[in-house]
């Protein structure tokens, strides 16, 4: 298969008559065919096409008044060039500004083709559930539209036999629709479902991981030695693994097992809403490689799905992980029939615990990350909707008599619940570090999920123990603890108030919380 450079050389040498009139001979002219308005004419001045190998590296130009006789042929050539050569730095909004415009464009170093020494990136999606199908649809839309991605997007499908006897992957390829996990939504003609993991990722340079987090270790084991060494990964998985050495984020697990860079994408992303193109946002978290982060924005970003990036992988990922525990608490409140005031209080308490937990584990986590889509926005939408809130609501309405596992099977149509497992893993760490009392909401959610406490305990502790409240040290960002109600107020000393919250380390925050707890009396 001939590459872009050979393709361009053929066009420039062998078919000069196809171009609109004008060959000025200066390196870096413009090519514009069919400009129909003033906007297009302005855009014409900003577009560049350089064809190495043609005599004196000629440039070609035309105005909006080019003769109609040459337009059809030049348009056909330019459409092909646009697909193969439009550089990454050329913002795709240009096509929205001038939809009738056919443009070949080049950038730095005087050469369009210099940015295309390599083949376009190939995207593969590992996982085909509800969110995985939506991610594939977004990637496929941009792969068809943008020249720096290969058209085909392969999706690894965990093969299932449907009720009619057909295989899920066959139905997806036949109908362009994931009839089980995302019915009535077309994924796109360039989405290919593949039940073979090895062939699904073959030659892929951009790997999208989107599956329940409890399966990631097994998947990575199967992928070892099967992926390109220069591949980049991104995790859309919300959860964490607990190892002997403590918590391990999914992005770190992928990076270490496969030896590749792994970013994350999190946000207020209820899949069914994005599937029907309702406006929403997401956040890409990256470590050091901003160029790759820019690529991930291009993979997923659309006018209705706005994606930004921040250099804070741990912060972005922990937001997406911990909010599921808070969503369980919100669902329990709904099932108890309580109102918006109670749910708002639960969400606020949950956000405080999310911030403190994240900073204790990773001091580099940025405060600003919690105000991105991956933070407060994702927390709000998950507590108002989503599978964790839904199942917790049902659990609470049944008085805790039916297990989360049972309700998951009944209500989620094969999807997996993340909040209960995450609560278990987080509580294991809290207990190991003697942090339970500093995280009353997280601890209580786990106790309810394991049936050690009734659903009502989310807002009221067991009557067998002294009634407790949650006290937030308002003078120190994120420090929280629980203790028996005191008959006297507890306030920090002048010396404590003199220390700005931003100057306190996570260990200081924890020590401050413990001191407040110990100073309280009944």
Tell me the two tokens of residue 14.
Answer: 């062998």
Strand partners, 459: none
Torsion of CA 502, 505, 511, 515, to 10 degrees: -20
Q: 278 and 340 in contact (C-beta within 8 Å)?
A: no
The candidate with the shortest Cα–Cα distance to 317, out of 263, 259, 382, 388, is 263
Strand partners, 225: none
Question: Which is it for strands 262-266 and 232-235: parallel, antiparallel or unpaired?
Answer: parallel
Contacts of 207 (CB under 8 A, 6+ apart): 124, 126, 201, 227, 231, 232, 233, 234, 260
Q: What is the DSSP letter of 376?
A: I
Burial of 191 from C-beta contacts in 10 A (0-12 / 13-18 / 19+): buried
Of the residues 295, 323, 343, 359, only one is catalytic, namely 323
* CA distance linking residue 455 with residue 465, whole number of Å: 16
What helix, strand, coil percent values describe the chain, rounded to 5?
45, 15, 40
Phi, psi at residue 148, to the nearest 5°? -90, 15
Q: How many residues does the chain have?
A: 522
Q: 465 and 500 in contact (C-beta within 8 Å)?
A: no
Concerning whether 161 is annotated as a catalytic residue, the answer is no
* CA distance linking residue 57 with residue 86, whole number of Å: 19
Strand partners, 208: 125, 234
Q: Which residues are catalytic?
A: 323
């Amino acid at each position: 298969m001939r590459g872009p450079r050979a393709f361009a050389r053929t066009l420039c040498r062998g078919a000069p008559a196809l171009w609109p009139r004008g060959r000025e001979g200066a390196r870096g002219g413009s090519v514009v065919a069919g400009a129909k308005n003033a906007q297009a004419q302005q855009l014409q001045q900003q577009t560049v096409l350089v064809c190495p190998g043609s005599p004196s590296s000629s440039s070609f130009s035309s105005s909006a008044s080019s003769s109609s006789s040459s337009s059809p042929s030049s348009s056909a050539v330019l459409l092909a060039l646009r697909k193969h050569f439009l550089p990454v730095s050329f913002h795709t909004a240009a096509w929205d500004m001038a939809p009738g415009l056919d443009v070949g464009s080049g950038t730095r170093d005087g050469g369009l083709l210099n940015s295309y020494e390599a083949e376009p990136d190939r995207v593969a999606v590992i996982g085909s559930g509800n969110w995985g199908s939506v991610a594939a649809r977004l990637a496929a839309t941009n792969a068809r539209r943008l020249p720096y991605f290969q058209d085909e997007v392969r999706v690894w499908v965990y093969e299932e036999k449907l009720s009619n006897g057909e295989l899920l992957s066959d139905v997806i390829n036949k109908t362009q629709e994931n009839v089980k996990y995302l019915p009535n939504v077309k994924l796109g003609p360039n989405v290919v479902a593949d039940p073979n993991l090895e062939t699904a990722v073959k030659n892929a340079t951009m790997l999208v991981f989107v599956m329940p987090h409890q399966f990631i270790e097994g998947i990575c084991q199967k992928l070892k030695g099967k992926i390109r060494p220069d591949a980049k990964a991104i995790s859309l998985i919300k959860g964490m693994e607990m190892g002997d050495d403590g918590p391990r984020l999914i992005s770190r697990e992928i990076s270490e097992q496969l030896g590749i860079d792994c970013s994350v994408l999190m946000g207020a992303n209820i899949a069914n809403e994005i599937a029907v193109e309702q406006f929403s946002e997401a956040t890409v978290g990256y470590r050091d490689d901003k160029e790759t982060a820019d690529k991930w924005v291009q993979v997923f970003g659309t006018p209705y799905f706005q994606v930004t990036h921040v250099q804070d992988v741990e912060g972005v990922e922990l937001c997406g992980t911990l909010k599921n525990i808070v969503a369980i608490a919100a669902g329990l409140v709904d099932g108890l029939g309580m109102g918006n005031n109670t749910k708002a209080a639960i969400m606020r308490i949950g956000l405080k615990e999310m911030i403190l937990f994240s900073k204790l584990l990773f001091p580099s986590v940025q405060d600003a990350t919690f105000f991105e889509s991956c933070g407060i926005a994702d927390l709000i939408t998950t507590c108002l909707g989503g599978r964790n809130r839904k199942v917790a609501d049902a659990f609470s309405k049944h008085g805790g008599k039916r297990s989360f596992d049972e309700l998951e099977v009944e209500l989620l149509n094969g999807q997996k619940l993340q909040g209960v497992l995450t609560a278990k893993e987080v509580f294991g760490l809290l207990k190991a570090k003697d942090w339970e009392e500093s995280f009353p909401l997280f601890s209580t959610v786990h106790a309810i999920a394991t049936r050690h406490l009734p659903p009502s305990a989310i807002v009221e502790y067991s009557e067998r123990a002294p009634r407790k409240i949650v006290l937030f040290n308002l003078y120190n960002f994120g420090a929280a603890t629980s203790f028996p109600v005191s008959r006297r107020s507890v306030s920090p000393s002048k010396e404590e108030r003199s220390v700005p919250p931003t100057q306190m380390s996570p260990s200081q925050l924890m020590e401050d919380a413990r001191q407040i707890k110990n100073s309280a009396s009944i």
